[in-house]
Amino acid sequence: MQFRVLGPVQFSVGDKVLDVGPPQRCLVFAALVTDAGRLVLQETLIDRVWRQPPPQGARRTVQTHIANIRGLLRKAGATGHTPPALVRRRGGYVLDIDPDLVDVHRFRRLAAQAANADVATVERLALWREAVGLWRGAPLAALAGDWAARTRDAWHAEHRDAVLGWAYAEIEAGNPTVVISPLADLIDQYPLVETLPAMLMRALYAVGRRTDALDCYTAAQRRLDDELAEEPGAELTAVYQAILRRDADVPPPLGTAPAGVAVPAQLPPDVRGFAGRTDQLAQLDALAATVGGGATAVVISAIAGTAGAGKTALAVHWAHRNAKRFPDGQLYVDLRGFDPGGAAVDPTDAVRGFLDAVAMPPERIPTERSAQTALYRTVLADKRMLVVLDNARDSEQVRPLLPGAPGCLVLITSRNPLTSLVTATGAHPLPLDLLTPQEARELLTRRLGARRVATESDAVDALVTGCARLPLALAIVAARAATHPHFSLAALAAELHDARTRLDALADTDPTTDVRAVFSWSYVTLTPPAARLFRLLGLHPGPDIPATAAASLTGLPPSRLRPLLAELTHAHLIAEHRPGRYAFHDLLRAYATDLAQVHDSDPERRAALTRVLDHYTHTAHNADRLLRPHRDSGSIPLTPPSSGTYPQQFADHQQAMAWFSVERPVLLAVLRHAADAGLDASTCQLAWALDTFLDRQGHWSDLTAVWQAALHAARRLRDPSAQAFTHRFLAGGLSRLGRHADGHTHLQHALELYRQVGDRYGQAQIHQNLGSLWDRQGDYRKAVDHAQQSLDLYRAVGHRRGHADALNAVGWCHAQLGDHRQALLHCEQALDLLQQLGDRAGEAATWDSIGFAHHQLGNHTQAIECYRRALVLSRELGARYDEADILHQLGNIGDATGDLAAAEAAWREALAILDDLNHPDTDQLRAKLHRSPGQPARRAATT
């Protein structure tokens, strides 16, 4: 049995190749095979198959592909082999096979063995030949998508390194002829990888083609000069000189990194024109001298300073100068600690990246994140490595990435001083201030050339002063001067001075202010409408903004806004990071915000924020009405949107769900902004509009946070009705999280408030919610009592939909108490009323109740039909927990009737959804899947 990905994706048993299926299924199959024996999260599968955001129904599509792949694997059993297991685990899947059955893992094992210095020459050659022979062309051939492309590129690099190892083994064994053609082909693919022409020169020289070997060097030298303006490196030069001298022995490869034993070299390119920082470089040199000497712990340096001070440039420049001190390699990660969208790198993701960088075989990497960190520290325990952790947010982000034993040096850059790291680990703080005037001048000289600087010496001094000696600002000045050689430096200095004068709020000694002045060179080229848009974008609370919301922010129609967004994108003042969605980094955001403070009045800024808040609130209400069209309005009436606001409309339920899915982070940020700004009515209105989506999609932690903010806002409004409904919905979120006691407390508060204002409809809702809470806790006597009180109140106030919901609740409670005939009487009345009202959500819940009653009465055919009706409606509504619950019940019926295959299929589908929701019911359901057939199955209480 073989799994092949080093070429077209294939699964074979003996001589028979089984058809995996269409390309998308092949991609899912390859994603599982690549991590054979390890958990692959469902989110990871979706990311590997689709670009972000994934389409609606991506999860269900993946589940369908998984089912088909399981069928394919079962075919292997029909041939007499034991079929591989594709196991569902919490949040994902494991292809439970020996990784050596997968060609890429076998290739890595063979390459690692071949690279072992203790392996005999004859055995090494055999291992290399077998490893290289596993390649059948481009890996993951014909599969599209970002993940396939990235993986293909990475594997090609491993193949290249393996070919180098094989080629040297063949040359040593006296077979240089066979490697000449493959090496020449690789040089065409990687013209700037110097180890390839060096190895080809060895082979050519070994077969007596000395002139061709020297010509190979000349061609490589020309390519490096043309493309990189660099001279050949040490290895290529050493081989060339040996051949030139006609030496009998050509130097062996220097640092060839065959697959499986790679020495990581992850440093970004060194900074061109680096200048100054002599004292700081000397301090780092002194620290490096202690590594591996008398130090008893890992040596750490924390480089801290303001944005633009050149922290990364210093770390990377020093790392390149001292790379040879660390023969086991250099690891680097940008932790994005100050990303404006809050997308800081999770340290566990960085650990996994480091394990990949040291070529740790995937089958050896544990699934638990803490175990991955332990493995990372184990790998580095006897290594002499340099680890660069760039742009760290805080000490907590850094700690999991620190090696645990001496021998390594860690460089950390951050805008924060990382004081707790200095205290707890003995890290050496290295504060980074402005450049000295001499260093700043040296930086410009190296970027612009000594002649140009000497010609306009006074202007250079003015530029240094105008840039406040901040490296980032000086680099921007130098780039502008270099790209416009006809501009005089005096003109550039005057332009900088004019910007600082015109933007009085930016005339500050803080270096960030001066960077913003440099940004003005791009800003002043904008048309007035684009400049206004740029300023207002700094006021937007969310991590990014769609074009539709930007229209409301400015008060301009969307058709007029699109050209302005294109203008800003062209000027590199914003980035369209996804189609129709825009963002900019934190310095530009701060610059835009300060410009708005200077150029836009308080009323203009307030109006812009009001429009954007109205945009999201009204759009969310429009979307929510499609998700739950029969829902009552909130306690605080929604006022018309401000003039110049352009709320979105949606054609159907699917569009509304898609909008909520994409905008959820922005909506949460907007609600937090409204709450912090004291916009209490808007906070409550937006919370109301978010409730249905967050509940149905299982975002219950977000749901609880939203209603907590709304409750504080309602209290400030001193509106008892608003306070009551926020207590009520907060209780719902808490109950979803299993915090039933807290839910009861909030519902009692709500009930008392509704009694104080004489709102019997509100009291009916609270009694219905209390019934639901007691039902979840298994106290059906109390549940039916509250449900009946709710029904009586709804009847009294003449609320038909509430009446219908309460009928269903009473019926459900009777079913739980064993009175199934009474349950059907109430629930069928509820169903008739809900169908008259066209309330699909209520209808789905009621079909579920009727199905349960029929199941308990032994009417299994009728129960299945009812559950299937509820299932269709729940899927249409996007009610994921309800969908899982209904599948759970269908599995119970299959179990009760002896249809164990149907029971297992339904339970597994339900479990997949609950796993995605991280719901506590997963343990109960997983236990059912592992118990003996025919044991009784009890339902988790729901309403």
3-state secondary structure of 143: coil
* Per-residue pLDDT at 821 exceeds 70: yes
DSSP string covering 549-584: HHHHHHT--HHHHHHHHHHHHHTTSSEEEETTEEE-
Given a cut of 70, whether residue 470 has pLDDT beyond it is yes
Instruction: Please give the structure tokens belonging to residue 167.
Output: 């080629």
User: Taken in order 846, 848, 852, 857, is the CA torsion positive or negative?
Assistant: positive
Tell me what pLDDT residue 853 has: 92
Residue 922: how many other CB atoms lie within 10 Å: 20
Q: How far apart are CA 609 and CA 766, in angstroms?
A: 35
Higher pLDDT pick, 915 / 139: 139
Q: Sort 925 into a burial class: Cβ within 10 Å, 0-12 / 13-18 / 19+.
A: buried
Name the DSSP letter for residue 265.
Answer: B
Query: Ranked by mean pLDDT, which of 435-449, 566-580, 825-839 comes out on top?
Result: 825-839
- Across 194-206, average pLDDT: 93
Q: What's the chain's Rg over C-alpha atoms? A: 33
Spatial CA neighbour of 536 closest among 599, 578, 585: 599
205, β-bridge pairs: none
Q: What is the CATH number of domain 2-101?
A: 1.10.10.10
For the chain, give the percent of residues with pLDDT over 70. 90
Full DSSP string of 871-922 = HHHHHHHT-HHHHHHHHHHHHHHHHHHT-HHHHHHHHHHHHHHHHHHT-THH
Q: What is the tens place of the pLDDT at every residue in 160-172?
A: 888 999 999 999 8
- Tell me which of 110-114, 192-196, 218-222, 920-924 is least confident: 920-924
Specify the pLDDT at position 688: 94
CA angle 135/141/144 to nearest 5° reads 145
Distance CA 72, CA 11 (A): 9
| Mean pLDDT in residue range 85-89 | 84
Residues composing the chain = 943
Which range scores top for mean pLDDT: 273-282, 290-299, 463-472, 828-837?
828-837
Q: Which residue has the tokens 């994108």?
A: 569
Sort strands 330-334 and 92-96 into parallel, antiparallel or unpaired. Answer: unpaired
- Give the lowest-confidence range in 145-159, 548-562, 792-806, 818-832: 145-159
Please state the three-class secondary structure of 302-334 as a single string.
Answer: EEECCCCCCHHHHHHHHHHHCHHHCCCCEEEEE
State the CATH architecture for 525-600.
Orthogonal Bundle (1.10)
Token output for 442: 């040296």
Which among 377-391, 503-517, 810-824 has the top mean pLDDT? 810-824
Is the model's pLDDT at 258 over the cut of 50?
no
User: Angle 19-23-25 (CA atoms, 0-180°, nearest 5)?
Assistant: 70
Mean pLDDT of 866-888: 90
Question: How far apart are the C-alpha atoms of 139 and 7, rounded to whole Å?
Answer: 4
Interatomic CA distance for residues 475 and 620, integer angstroms: 44
> In Å, what is the CA distance from 853 to each residue of 253, 556, 825, 891?
77, 56, 10, 15
Q: What average pLDDT score do residues 740-746 get?
A: 93
Average pLDDT over residues 280-302: 74
Fold match between 2-101 and 613-843? no
Q: Report strand pairing: 409-414 vs 545-546.
A: unpaired
CB 211 within 8 A of CB 218: no
Asked if the peptide bond before residue 529 counts as cis, ω within 30 degrees of 0, the response is: no
- Residue 930 predicted with pLDDT over 90: no
> Are 205 and 213 contacting, i.e. CB atoms less than 8 angstroms apart?
yes
Given pLDDT bands bounded at 50, 70 and 90, which one contains residue 21? confident
For tokens 């930086």, name the residue.
443
Q: What sections of 173-301 are H helices per DSSP?
A: 177-189, 195-206, 210-228, 234-244, 278-290
Nearest to 45 by CA among 356, 58, 104: 58
- Tokens 């000289």 correspond to 445
The closest of 733, 636, 646 to 679, measured between CA atoms, is 636
Q: Which residue has the higher pLDDT, 59 or 614?
A: 614
The contacts of residue 931 (CB under 8 Å, 6+ apart) are none
C-alpha span between 878 and 147 (Å, rounded): 28
Neighbouring C-beta atoms of residue 930, cutoff 10 Å: 6
Looking at the predicted structure, is the pLDDT value of residue 278 above 90? no
Enter the tokens of residue 259: 């697959």
Closest to 150 (Cα-Cα) out of 232, 277, 48:
48
519 vs 501, residue with greater confidence: 519
Q: What's residue 454's pLDDT?
A: 87
What is the rounded average pLDDT of the residues 512-536?
71
Q: Which residues contact 855 (CB under 8 A, 6 or more apart)?
A: 863, 889, 892, 893, 896
**Comparing 247-261, 333-347, 679-693, 742-756, which segment has the lowest mean pLDDT?**
247-261
Using DSSP's 3-state secondary structure scheme, residue 413 falls into strand
> Which tokens sit at 742?
């807290």
Where is 410: in which H helix or E strand? strand 409-414
Alpha-carbon span 217 to 591, nearest angstrom: 51
pTM for the full predicted model: 0.49
- CATH match for 613-843 among 2.60.40.10, 1.10.3470.10, 1.10.10.60, 1.25.40.10: 1.25.40.10
Contacts of 425 (CB under 8 A, 6+ apart): 297, 298, 300, 402
Q: Of residues 637 and 564, which shows the higher confidence score?
A: 564
Reported as a single tens digit per residue, the pLDDT across 842-865 is 899 999 999 999 999 999 999 999
What pLDDT, on the 0 to 100 scale, is given for residue 207? 92
Sign of the dihedral through C-alpha 403, 407, 413, 419: positive
* 217 alpha carbon, distance to own chain's centre: 44
| CA neighbor of 415 nearest in space, from 392, 387, 396, 395 | 392
Tell which residue, 942, 913, 901, has the closest CA to residue 929.
Answer: 901
Assign 249 to helix, strand or coil. coil
| Whole-number Å distance between alpha carbons of 162 and 110 | 10
Q: With bands split at pLDDT 50, 70 and 90, how would you rate the model's confidence at 717?
A: very high
Q: What is the 3-state secondary structure (H, E, C) of 177-208?
A: HHHHHHHHHHHHHCCCCCHHHHHHHHHHHHCC
For 775-789, what is the mean pLDDT? 91
C-alpha span between 443 and 652 (Å, rounded): 59
Per-domain residue ranges of the chain: 2-101, 110-244, 278-430, 437-504, 525-600, 613-843
Predicted confidence band of residue 517 (pLDDT cuts 50, 70, 90): very low
Q: pLDDT at position 326, please? A: 83
What are the φ and ψ backbone dihedral angles of 388, each rounded to 5 degrees?
-110, 115
Least confident piece of the model among 215-229, 294-308, 632-646:
294-308
pLDDT at 135 over 80: yes
Among 1.25.40.10, 3.30.830.10, 3.10.129.10, 1.10.3470.10, name the CATH number for the domain at 110-244: 1.25.40.10
Q: Over the chain, what is the mean pLDDT?
A: 84
Q: How far apart are CA 219 and CA 203, in angstroms?
A: 16
Q: Which amino acid, one-letter code, is at 51?
A: R
Name residue 66's amino acid. Answer: I
Tokens of 705: 């946070």
Higher pLDDT, 204 or 285: 204
Residue 256: pLDDT above 50?
no
Before 54, cis peptide (omega within 30)?
Answer: no
CB atoms within 10 A of CB 249: 6
pLDDT for 302 equals 86
For residue 836, pLDDT beyond 80 = yes
Report residue 632's pLDDT band, with 50, 70 and 90 as the boundaries.
Answer: confident
Helix axes 921-930, 880-897, angle to 10 degrees: 20
218 contact partners, CB below 8 Å, separation of at least 6? none
Residue 770 has pLDDT above 90, yes or no: yes
Cβ-contact 31, 39 below 8 angstroms: no
Confidence of residue 502 (pLDDT cuts 50, 70, 90): very low
For domain 278-430, the CATH class is alpha beta
Q: Output the pLDDT for position 306.
A: 62
Beta strands in 772-843 (DSSP E): none
Average pLDDT for 893-907:
89
- Which range (199-213, 372-386, 664-678, 832-846) has the least confidence? 372-386
Structure tokens at 50: 């689709």
pLDDT in tens, 425-434: 788 888 887 7
> What average pLDDT does the segment 263-289 reach?
83
- Lookup: tokens for 827: 């629930």
Say which amino acid occupies 528: P
> Could you tell me the two tokens for 65?
């592909």
What is the arithmetic mean of pLDDT over 435-450? 87
- Model confidence pLDDT, tens digit, residues 663-679: 999 999 999 999 999 99
How far is it, in rounded angstroms, from Cα 769 to Cα 749? 13
pLDDT single digits (tens) 322-358: 887 888 889 999 887 765 444 678 888 888 888 888 8
pLDDT tens, residue by residue, 748-761:
999 999 999 999 99
Ranked by mean pLDDT, the top range of 369-383, 491-505, 564-578, 769-783 is: 769-783
Confirm if 516 and 590 have CB atoms less than 8 A apart: yes
- Residues with Cβ < 8 Å from 286, sequence gap 6 or more? none
Least confident range of 17-31, 175-189, 407-421, 897-911:
407-421
Angle at 268 between CA 267 and CA 271, to 5 degrees: 120
Looking at residue 198, its pLDDT comes to: 93
CA distances from 138 to 4, 6, 153, 188 (A): 12, 7, 9, 15
